[in-house]
Amino acid sequence: MEHINKNLAKIADAFNKLNKKTKKTIRIGFTVSLVLLAAGTLIIAANHTFLSFDNYTEFTGQSIVTSAFTVLAEIVIGSLLIDHVFKG
pLDDT along the chain (88 residues), means of 10: 81 86 92 96 93 90 96 94 83
Write down the pLDDT at residue 88.
55
- The DSSP letter of residue 54 is -
| HSE of 51, CA atoms in CB hemisphere, 13 A | 13
Report pLDDT for 6: 86
Nearest residue to 88 via CA among 10, 13, 17 = 17
Q: What sections of the chain are H helices per DSSP?
A: 2-16, 20-48, 55-87
Residue 18, Ramachandran bin (φ over 0: left; ψ between -120 and 50: alpha; else beta): beta
